[in-house]
Amino acid sequence: MDKIFIHALKSEAIIGIFDWERQVKQAVYVDLEMAMDVRKAAASDAIEDTLNYKRVAKRLISFIEGSSFHLVETLADRIAMLVLEEFGVESVRVVLSKPGALRSSRDVGVAIERARVDLDGRPRSTGAPT
């Protein structure tokens, strides 16, 4: 399966379990790998036949900036569900990094993979506070 990727997409979110983290937005970085067949787009050379990664990036930034989760695991999962639901890719790999979370580390985060079959019975990708 082919993959379209976005690396180091920067946004800011209310994310964390401590009181101070609930008061200020923090930077998060997202790496995405989205699996889809790009042969039609390669043959036609038309944006309509592929995944418009600019639309994906804009939607994710909007979603992340409006979110308020305690765990990076939850935010990463909701990002994956959003991409699967709204952009129709076959599967997605999300790496979410939260810089500065540990003084002795550049960043911390989580890497998850989800596929279309994971959509069944899952909560929708709302950015509502948890």
Contact of 114 with 80, CB cutoff 8 Å: yes
For the record, the structure tokens of 53 come out as: 């990664």
Report the C-alpha gap between 6 and 56 in whole angstroms.
Answer: 9
Q: If we measure between CA atoms, which residue out of 21, 108, 116, 26 comes closest to residue 64?
A: 26
State yes or no: is 54 an active-site residue: no
The CATH number of the domain covering residues in 3-119: 3.30.1130.10
In the chain, where are the structural domains located? Answer: 3-119
The reported pTM is: 0.89
Residue 30, helix vs strand vs coil? strand
Catalytic residue among 10, 25, 40, 98: 98
Going residue by residue through the chain, which has 130 residues, state the pLDDT in tens, using 9 for 90 and above: 899 999 999 999 999 998 988 999 999 999 999 999 999 999 999 999 999 999 999 999 999 999 999 999 999 999 999 999 999 999 999 999 999 877 888 889 999 999 998 887 665 555 544 4
Q: Tell me what pLDDT residue 122 has.
A: 62
